[in-house]
């Protein structure tokens, strides 16, 4: 397994080597890089595809970050609700194995978890739990080591069961842990697209960049969409997005998609304590409006080439291969 600390050291060393400015990432707001805000989301819901693709695989997003605790799970659950409100069929897979944050933030206790489909002969539909507002979720449950321990036959059974979900859902959001571990990187590589969450803190931004760098080194064509969470202002968020996207384009030749931002807001903490997503508890708040904008932008017609999607079956094919044969 690649050593996370080595990866980080390498990333930091590379940051130091860059001339103009991978280091611009740590420059204070407004100081070095011209600011450009993401294009406003189309407010017209009718411009959205009605369904991602009926009969085709679901569109699979991995929500991830370089640094931990930046808001991935809150983004995952609230984005899922916003997409469900737009009439997409959405499921969340809690892949922060062992920590099970999605069910805690939903205030729910799932009856079954992912590996009950293998060890306890539960059907895939039995392990899909009902979340709020039509969102479904699958609890990752036990550690990722258990996935690694499955034999080929069990993996094939899991993949074939999960491919049924591709028919049922338009969007599958995979909430991962943070960082440059093989598991997180593997899941990001296996998904159709990566939603990368960062806060404006320099440590979070440089860790996000280190993760982008690791992903691009393994897959040049990876689609990475950026969400700035806990921004103090639209200006601060736009500045972070501009820095990261300019540095990624210049040094990695990667076009980073600016998906949107969410303000730093005590309502998030209140929602977490109440175990209720803020889109439900505070639907008119700025943070809820931002997440709805992100959902709209994500589903814009131009945002995705359906033929590229491999769906959940493809995701599990990718991740299991990756975990087994690393
Ligand atoms: N926009 C926000 N405004 C204020 N606080 C926030 C915001 N987003 C997240 N937080 C705070 O950060 C905490 C962590 O959020 P969350 O659990 O979504 O992060 P995470 O990236 O999933 O963490 P982990 O890496 O541990 O899985 C929340 O409980 C909340 O206190
Ligand atoms: Mg989390």
pLDDT score, position 32: 42
Judged by its nearest atom, the ligand closest to the C-alpha of residue 286 is: 1
Please give the average per-residue pLDDT across 53-73, as a whole number.
Answer: 86
Residue spans per domain, the chain: 59-299+307-324
Mode of pairing for the β-strands spanning 90-94 and 193-198: unpaired
The model's pLDDT over 262-319, given as tens digits with 9 standing for 90+, comes to 999 999 999 999 999 999 999 999 999 999 999 999 998 655 555 566 777 777 777 6
pLDDT score, position 98: 67
Q: Give me ligand 1 centre to Cα 6, in Å.
A: 26
Judged by its nearest atom, the ligand closest to the C-alpha of residue 227 is: 1
**Would the pLDDT of 158 be above 60?**
yes
**Would the pLDDT of 246 be above 50?**
yes
Convert 7-26 to b/e letters by CB count within 10 Å (16 or more is b). bbebbeeebeeeeebbebbb
Please give the average per-residue pLDDT across 84-113, as a whole number.
Answer: 88
Higher-confidence position of 196 and 158: 196
- Return mean pLDDT, the chain: 81
Higher-confidence position of 209 and 56: 209
Pick the closest to residue 255 from 226, 283, 276 (CA basis).
Answer: 226
Q: Give me ligand 1 centre to Cα 324, in Å.
A: 31
pLDDT score, position 45: 52
Whole-angstrom distance, CA of residue 258 vs CA of residue 196: 10
Neighbours of 275 (CB within 10 A): 13
Least confident interval from 46-60, 87-101, 268-282: 46-60
In Å, how far are 16, 196, 201 from 28, measured between CA atoms? 17, 21, 10
Residue 61 φ/ψ, nearest 5 degrees:
-110, 135
Burial-class residue 214 by CB neighbours within 10 Å (0-12, 13-18, 19+).
buried
**Would the pLDDT of 15 be above 80?**
no
Which residues keep their CB under 5 angstroms from ion ligand 2?
72-73, 101
Please give the average per-residue pLDDT across 318-324, as a whole number.
Answer: 61
pLDDT score, position 315: 79
User: Which atom from ligand 1 is nearest to the alpha carbon of 99?
Assistant: 27
Q: Give me ligand 2 centre to Cα 27, in Å.
A: 27
The best mutation among 107, 268, 290 to test binding of ligand 1, ranked by most ligand atoms within 8 Å of the C-beta, falls on: 268
Considering only CA atoms, which residue is closest to atom 31 of ligand 1?
269
CATH superfamily to which 59-299+307-324 belongs: P-loop containing nucleotide triphosphate hydrolases (3.40.50.300)
CA atoms within 13 A on the CB side of 179: 14
pLDDT score, position 39: 43
CA-based diameter of the chain, in Å? Answer: 58
Q: Give me ligand 1 centre to Cα 74, in Å.
A: 6
**Would the pLDDT of 207 be above 60?**
yes
Q: DSSP string of 252-296? A: H----EEEEEEE--HHHHHHHHHTS-HHHH-TTSHHHHHHHHHHH
**Would the pLDDT of 148 be above 70?**
no
pLDDT score, position 233: 97
End-to-end CA distance of the chain: 7
Neighbours of 49 (CB within 10 A): 14
Please give the average per-residue pLDDT across 220-226, as a whole number.
Answer: 93
Confidence of residue 257 (pLDDT cuts 50, 70, 90): very high
Asked if 284 and 252 touch (Cβ cutoff 8 Å), the reply is: no
Pick the closest to residue 157 from 326, 324, 320, 322 (CA basis).
Answer: 320
Neighbours of 308 (CB within 10 A): 11
């Amino acid at each position: 397994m690649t050593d996370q600390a080595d990866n980080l050291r390498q990333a930091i060393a590379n940051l130091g080597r860059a001339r103009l400015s991978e280091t611009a990432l740590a420059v204070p707001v407004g100081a070095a890089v011209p600011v450009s805000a993401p294009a406003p989301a189309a407010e017209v819901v009718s411009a959205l595809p009605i369904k991602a693709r009926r009969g085709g695989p679901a569109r699979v997003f991995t929500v991830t970050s370089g640094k931990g605790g930046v808001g991935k799970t809150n983004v995952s659950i609230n984005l899922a609700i916003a997409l469900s409100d737009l009439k997409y069929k959405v499921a969340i897979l809690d892949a922060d194995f062992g920590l099970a944050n999605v069910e805690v933030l939903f205030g729910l206790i799932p009856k079954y978890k992912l590996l009950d489909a293998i060890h306890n002969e539960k059907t895939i539909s039995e392990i899909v739990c009902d979340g709020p507002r039509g969102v479904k979720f699958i609890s990752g449950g036990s550690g990722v080591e258990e996935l690694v321990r499955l034999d080929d036959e069990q993996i094939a059974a899991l993949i074939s069961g999960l491919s049924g979900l591709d028919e049922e859902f338009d969007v599958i959001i995979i909430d991962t842990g943070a960082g440059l571990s093989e598991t997180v990187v593997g899941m990001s590589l296996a998904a159709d697209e990566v939603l990368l969450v960062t806060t404006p803190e320099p440590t979070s931004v440089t860790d996000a960049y280190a993760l982008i760098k690791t992903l691009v080194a393994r897959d040049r064509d990876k689609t990475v969409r950026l969400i700035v969470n806990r921004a103090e202002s639209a200006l601060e968020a736009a500045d972070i997005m501009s820095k990261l996207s300019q540095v990624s384009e210049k040094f990695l030749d990667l076009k980073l998609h600016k998906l949107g931002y969410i303000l730093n807001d005590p309502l998030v903490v209140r929602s977490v304590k109440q175990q209720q997503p803020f889109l439900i508890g505070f639907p008119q708040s700025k943070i809820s409006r931002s997440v709805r904008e992100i959902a709209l932008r994500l589903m814009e017609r131009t945002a995705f080439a359906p033929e590229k999607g491999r769906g959940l079956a493809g995701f599990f094919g990718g991740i299991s291969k990756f975990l087994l044969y690393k």
